[in-house]
Amino acid sequence: MMLDFDMGTRAGELRVQLRELIERELPERFPGAFTDDPADLAAAQRFCRVLAEQDLLCLSWPGEFGGAGASVWEQTVVREEMWAHHEPRGAQYMGVNWVGPIIMRHGTTEQQRRHLPPIAAGEVIWCQGFSEPEAGSDLASLRTYARRDGDGWLINGQKIWTSYATMAQWCFLLVRTTRVGEGSVTKKQQGLTVFLVPMDNPAITVRPLGTMMGPHHLNEVFFDDLRVTDADVLGDLDSGWSIVADVMAFERVGIARYARCERLLAAAPHALGPRWETLPGEVIARWVRMLTHCRRARLMAYRVVSLQASGRIAPGDAAAYRIAVTRLDQESAEVLMEIAAEVPDSPQAQWYRQEVEDHWRYSQAATVSSGSIEMQRILLSRALLAEAR
C-alpha cells in the first residue's frame, strides 16, 4: 500500500501556533496535570478551554460536533505537539482521541448531543472502566455485572487501574450483561455492553492507588447497585466487544509518546553542553538508535491514522505501533537516564533531569498499560495469519 504522509502546508504554521500558545498560556516549566498540586490540573483545564476557543482542541471533528472539520493530519500535529510538551491537555486527550470518536461512531443522536459538545469545549474529563483485578490483559473475563431491574439495570463490581477516576465526570464502562451459557452467548467476548455513566453517582466509590507516577494515574472503582438505563447503553446490548476493538485502535495511536521521546532526546546535547563531547561512544550510539526508533514509531502511527481516516480500523497495525512505541518508551528512558546523570548543576539543566526522570517513571508501565505488550503481539500475530489465509 502506498501512503502519502504529507501533512499539508498548514502543518508547519500550526506547530508554531501551538508552541506559542504553550509558552504563553502555561506556567513556566509546567510539570503536567497529574501532580499533588491542584493548581496544575486547573492550569491544564484552562489551557484546554483556550484550545477549544481557538478550534484547536478537537480540530478534526466535524463542525456539528464542535470541531473545525480539519484534516486528521492537522489533528495529528496537535497530538504530537501536546505530547512533546508534557501533554498540557491533561486527561482531556482521552475524550478527544477516542471517547468522542467512538460516540460519533456508535452513539445515538441524543448521546452525541449530550456528550460531544462538552468534550469539544474542554469542559469534561472521562475515565475508562475496563480492567479488573481478575481481568486485565484478558479483558473479556471481566466480572462486573449488570442485571435487569425493572426498566433499568443495576451494576455491581470493581474496576482497577482506572486512570483519572478521581477527577473524571464520566466513565466509559464495560460490563457483562449476559453470562456465558445464557441465551446465545457461548464465548466470553459476547454478552458485554458499554454504559456511559456519571461519576458523581453515590453508588460509585473511587479509591486512589499509590504509584511512582504520581496521583490520578491509578485508582480502584467500586460499583454498588449503580442504577443505569437503556439510554446509557452505547451501541447494541451485548455487543460491547466490537466497540472495545474500535477503542483500542483509536486509543493506542492517540498517545504520541514518540514525540515526547524525540523532544527529550533532541534536547540532550543542549542540556549537557560541553559535557556532551565526553560521553562514551556507546551511549551516543544508543542515543542515535533511539532517534531512529522515534521516526519508525512516528511512521507506524501515521499508517494507522491514514487507515482510520479512510474509515478502516486496523487492529494489527495499531498493535504493531503500540509494540514499537512502548519499547521505544522504555529503551529511550534508559539511555536518557544515563545521559541525565551527567547534567551540570545549572537550573535549566536540572529541569531537564527532572523531565527525564518523569519520562522514566511513566515508561515503566508502558508495556502493561492499554493492553500488555504480550497481548499486542498476539493481536498482531492473528492479524498477520488472517492476511496470509
Please give the positions annotated as active site: 251
Q: Which DSSP letter does residue 98 get?
A: I
* Residues 343 and 350: beta-carbon distance below 8 Å: yes
Return the residue matching grid coordinates 516549566: 29
**H or E element: which one contains 23?**
helix 10-25
46 vs 248: CA distance, rounded Å: 28
- Find, among 83, 179, 212, 195, the residue nearest to 128 by Cα: 195
Supply angle C-alpha 168, 83, 330, rounded to 5.
Answer: 100
Supply angle C-alpha 145, 151, 155, rounded to 5.
Answer: 20
Burial class (CB in 10 A: 0-12, 13-18, 19+), 338: middle
Q: Which DSSP letter does residue 161 get?
A: S
Task: For residue 209, give the C-alpha cell.
Answer: 492507588
Q: Which DSSP letter does residue 239 get?
A: B
Look at residue 322 and give its three-state secondary structure: helix
336 vs 257: CA distance, rounded Å: 15
Residue-wise DSSP of 326-352:
HHHHHHHHHHHHHHHTT--SSHHHHHH
C-alpha distances in Å from residue 380, one per residue of 298, 304, 328: 18, 13, 18
Task: For residue 214, give the C-alpha cell.
Answer: 504520581
Q: Which DSSP letter does residue 141 get?
A: G
